[in-house]
Amino acid sequence: MNKRDIEHMMRGLISRGTAVADQPMSNYTSFKVGGPADLLIVPGDAEELSEIVGACKREGIEFYIMGNGTNLIVSDKGIRGVVIKICENFCAYSIEQNTVTAEAGMLLSRLSNIALQNGLAGMEFASGIPGTLGGAVSMNAGAYGGEMKDIIVETEYMDREGNFGSIKGEAHSFGYRTSAIQEMGCIVIRSVIRLREGDKACIKACMDDFTKRRRDKQPLEMPSAGSIFKRPEGYFAGRLIEDCGLKGYSIGGAQVSPKHCGFIVNTGNAKASDIICLIEHIKSQVGLRFGVNLQTEVKILGEQ
């Protein structure tokens, strides 16, 4: 099936969402890099998503799921197949006592503020994580001593054939930057979050403190994808990179941030290939000097 046939078929399935051909992924990723996707689809709801995923499975069409593009590097050649963006149309939520049920496209920053407005504590750590709930649950995102595993009690998901399922509690199998959802390659639809009653002023003070720490220590003013590497056991990736003398080191427009060596930033004209080459150089240097095998936290997609 050629690109035109794929586009025609997918547009026939969509009544509530949108589909756009040959979209530069640099417009949809926080790194601001990436070539075109054959077809970018924003489903209108979970039922439409199921139809799209099911059609891709039946026709043997490659598809990729993305949220807000904050943990993603897309190659300069782009993505062959279908990119399904779950964000804008998956933002409904409800609150019952100390429990929040929210859809996967909800930004963590917005969800944290909703918890604050309702006097619910426990999400403060997530207030500055620049991604969606779905991505955060899948990878068990965390910061400042908190992780999604601490607050998620149930998740509805979709498998790679478009079928719905759910898991509760320990069945999430949360680990460091992983979960059962991620291991199964499934798609988060919505999650149930259990918080606790708290004082609004205290919750806000905690969120403000985390925000200040981020602004002081992280290069938030430049395009990046947050922490590039997972934390190696017994070490801090940023410290290892700095101790290799790589602070400020550049390849093309990609640079190890002089502010925080755990970040790679786009100085303005980076290509995806610059970032990927810099990642490999860092891994090589850290491996040679310290014998530590750094693993990326970001996803790298697309035609190489």
The span from the first CA to the last CA of the chain, in angstroms, equals: 21
Residue 80: what residue type? R
The count of residues in the chain is 304
Nearest to 188 by CA among 122, 127, 131: 131
Q: Which residues are catalytic?
A: 177, 227, 297
What single letter denotes the amino acid at residue 165?
Answer: G
CB contact at 8 A, 69 and 112: no
